Structure 1
Amino acid sequence: MAEKVSSLKWFGTALKALLVLADHEGRCPSGQMAEKLESKSLYLRKVLTHLVKAGLIHAKEGRDGGYSLAERPENITLAEVYEAMRSETISKGFLEVEGDACFSPSTTSALCELRNEMEGWIVDGLEQKTLADLLAKEKN
């Protein structure tokens, strides 16, 4: 299996793919989903692989194959999607601290602690939202 990527684009694509599945009756083929999302099928299947591995969606291969949600939208938190996609923290992109030799060790340590706190804030916020919350806003 391919490694997870750090790009936030993958997280956004995963959320949009889940929204398509939540609004689709039965299994949705990746080609149809890619068309709706205006995405390349190969790229989308790479993202979907991570969602399958995390148990957020089911995949069925073959003629009648496709993807479907493994849970109801209200049972899928955005934090679960984030965890399925990430290989490094979002906050690392906001606050890079590795290799900052110009700072004292205590300042570098404080910056690392801040980055870890930021990651906690992000995950806590994502834990409070579900896929259903996004659907409700989409339909209003």
Structure 2
Amino acid sequence: MKETRVSSTKWFGLALQSLLVLADFDGIAPSGALADKLGAKSSFLRKVLSNLVKAGILSAKEGRDGGYYLAKEADDITLAEVYEAMRTDPYAKGFLDVNKEECFAPGTQKALAGLIDEMENWLLQGLSEKTVGDLLRDR
């Protein structure tokens, strides 16, 4: 079965917003209540939340009284963890794609590919320095 993770800022943003709401939620939050609060479709939100559960960031309780809750403290969840849980391709993928391979010499193509890797590393380094708890304190 194909995983539902994507390299989408929308998914990453919704994941972060969900974590912020859950950090302030008292108890287990049903996906419908989260979706209402965030203005998201329940089915779409559940796909996002399932990736966070797989990554060990959230826990889920099934059943009538089920829902989602943080699997660890907000201060222990880095934004890099959330980013990693939500993507399969580098954030910068497609950013430097060239329609025709003949457009640049092989050395330039290699340099562009290296830049994409560097950009991904910069992004991950920056995200690893901030936690969900930091975002809660910054409001």
Q: What is the TM-score of this pair, normalised by structure 1?
A: 0.93
Determine if contact 1:27/1:66 at 8 Å carries over to the other structure: yes
1:1-140 aligned at under 5 Å gives the runs 2-97=3-98, 100-138=101-139
Give secondary structure in 2 for the equivalent of 1:58: strand
Shift of 1:3: 2.5
In structure 2, the CA distance between the partners of 1:43 and 1:128, relative to structure 1 (3 Å rule), is same
Give secondary structure in 1 for the equivalent of 2:6: coil
Determine if contact 1:60/1:67 at 8 Å carries over to the other structure: yes
* C-alpha distance in 1 between matches for 2:27 and 2:102: 55
Structure 1 window deviating more from structure 2 (5-14 vs 44-53): it is 5-14
In the alignment, structure 2 segments of 5+ residues that lack a partner are none
- Report the identity percentage: 58
Q: Segments of 4+ in structure 1 off by > 2 A?
A: 93-101
Shift of 1:94: 2.8
Give the number of equivalent residue pairs. Answer: 138
Superposition CA RMSD, Å: 1.4
In structure 2, the CA distance between the partners of 1:97 and 1:29, relative to structure 1 (3 Å rule), is same
Shift of 1:93: 4.0
Structure 1 window deviating more from structure 2 (50-59 vs 85-94): it is 85-94
Q: What is the TM-score of this pair, normalised by structure 2?
A: 0.94
